[in-house]
Homo-oligomer: A and B are copies of this chain.
Amino acid sequence: MNRRDILAGSIAGVSAAATLAAAGAASAQTAATELRWRMTSSYPASLDAVYGAGEIFIQVLGELSQGRMQIQHFASGEIVGGLQALDAVQNGTVECCDTSPFYYVGKDPAFTFGSAMPFGLTTRQQNSWLFQAGGLNLLNELFGRYNVFGLPIGNTNAQMAGWFRKEIKSVEDLRGLKMRVGGLAGRIVAKLGVVPQQIAAGDIYPALERGAIDAAEWVGPYDDERLGLYKIAPYYYYPGWWEASSTIFLLINKGRWDALTPFDQALMRVAAQDAMTLTIAKYDQLNSVAIRRLVAGGAQLRSFPQDVMDACYKSANEVFAEIGGENEMFKRLHDHLTGFRNEQNLWHQIAEYSYQTFMIRSRKL
């Protein structure tokens, strides 16, 4: 084998760069186009970690384009409400939004896969599904029907199941429980007798305090700490099986995305990846510190009993079958993600989970 053969891989890499250079020169006129967009957020700026994913994206994009591409970020409610973000992008009121796609399960239940399928993937599995297994392409097929193109920009990592005024000792305790829980999770627990409630973040505390609801899920320790719920609903349950990870998406008006040069699209894709890596890293660090403060402040950690987990899992699979029977896109995404999940859990169980088991046990020694 001569040197040229040995270097074939490398030469291919350099050729790609050269091709890109030519493409870059060809698009030099358009590449100089200034971009001034508005991004409406589904989150309040006070939730600085989740809102921060969009902030990082904007900053990095400005940096990569040397200030040529500038996006102004508007908190939830500034232009439109947090749950109207998709509408605003779809109809062109704004060019893009940072949001959790499962806020739109009312439009199409398949949007859940853009954030988290209940009993779905961990953060690393979700990213492998998105970037390596074709998940992102499938999602963009869905998003395209709503005139938007999606780039993942972060993940909250595994969430908690929320705050409960009373302990849940068996599946019987779910009957009649009024709980703030949305999306497909609400539909899943409704089968077990929970009465799901839709309540905005700012109204959760008073609703729990006056007994209008018995429980409320929000995000994880760092974000939950802001709401102060441990004072009135001290039982802090896990795991949050409806969001074992939760992807934060940038959704861009499709016409606007398609009109970008390939170069500008590449800058956006790479800025999104940077926001993804940094947001995941940030949430892990912030949550580990916040959980200690919450427990010191009175939060009482509780895991769901096995029968509750089993009943929820069974109920979830029933709901998936019901929706999948009438929604082809939902079924395609569900089957794709579930097949991937089962293979991933087989592998993760061997090398990483067994390691974590040892380390968690050793920590207690």
**Residues 252-304 of A contacting B (Cβ, < 8 Å):** 263, 266-267, 270-271, 273-274, 276-278, 280-282, 284-285, 287-289, 291-292, 301, 303
The answer to the question of A200 belonging to the interface, with a C-beta cut-off of 8 Å to chain B, is no
The distance in angstroms between the C-alpha atoms of A292 and B339, with both chains bound, is: 14
Say yes or no: is A180 at the interface (Cβ < 8 Å to chain B).
Answer: no
Residue of A78, A345, A346, A347 most packed against chain B (CB within 10 A): A347
For the complex, is A99 an interface residue (Cβ under 8 Å from B)? no
Contact between chains at A351 and B220 (CB < 8 Å):
yes
Residues of B within 8 A of A360 (CB): 345, 348-349, 353
| Chain B: CB-nearest residue to A133 | B285
When C-beta atoms are compared, the residue in chain B nearest to A277 turns out to be: B273
Total identical chains: 2
Whether B67 lies near A313 (C-beta < 8 A) is: no
Which stretch in A7-15, A104-112, A209-217 binds the other chain?
Answer: A7-15
| Given contact pairs A122-B352, A132-B284, a sample of 15 additional A-B residue pairs in the complex whose CB atoms are under 8 Å apart | A14-B70, A21-B62, A23-B66, A24-B66, A119-B362, A127-B277, A128-B285, A132-B282, A239-B350, A239-B358, A244-B359, A270-B270, A284-B344, A348-B360, A353-B360
Q: Which of B66, B159, B284 contacts A25 (CB 8 A)?
A: B66
Q: Taking the nearest CB of chain B, how far is it from the CB of A226, in angstroms?
A: 15
Contact assessment for B356 and A122 in the assembled complex, using a CB-CB cutoff below 8 Å: yes
A124 interfacial by beta-carbon distance below 8 Å = yes
- The answer to whether residues A72 and B10 also contact, given A270-B60, A274-B273 and a CB cut-off of 8 A, is yes
Number of interface residues of A (CB under 8 A): 105
**Chain A 121-148 interface mask (CB, 8 Å, partner B; 1/0):** 0111101101111000000000000000
What chain B residues lie within 8 Å of A289 (beta carbons)?
Answer: 343
Which of these, B61, B66, B133, B342, contacts A363 with CB under 8 Å? B342
Comparing A51-59, A82-90, A164-172, the segment that makes contact with chain B is: A51-59
Q: In this assembly, does A334 line the interface, its C-beta being within 8 Å of a C-beta of chain B?
A: no
Chain B residues with CB below 8 A from A158, complex form: 351-352, 355
The 9 listed contacts between A and B (C-beta, < 8 Å) are A60-B270, A66-B263, A122-B355, A124-B157, A287-B351, A288-B343, A292-B346, A348-B360, A349-B356
- Say whether A311 faces chain B, with CB atoms less than 8 Å apart: no
With an 8 A cutoff between CB atoms, is A2 at the interface?
A: no
- Quick check: is A230 within 8 A (CB to CB) of the other chain? no
Please classify the interface of chain A as helix (H, G, I), strand (E, B), loop, or mixed, using the class held by over half of its residues: helix
| Chain B residue at minimal CB-CB distance from A52 | B9
Beta-carbon contact of B13 and A73 below 8 Å = yes
CB-contacts of A71-120 with B (<8 A): 72-75, 78, 119
**B351 close to A270 (CB less than 8 A):** no
A95 to B244 Cα, complex, angstroms: 42
Interface centre among A31, A74, A123, A277 (most CB of B within 10 A): A277
Closest CB of chain B to A124's CB: distance in Å?
Answer: 6
**Which one of B22, B59, B239, B344 contacts A288 once the chains associate, using CB atoms below 8 Å?**
B344
CB-based contact A270/B274 at 8 Å: yes
Contact of A321 with B by CB under 8 A: no
A347 with B59: CB separation less than 8 A: no
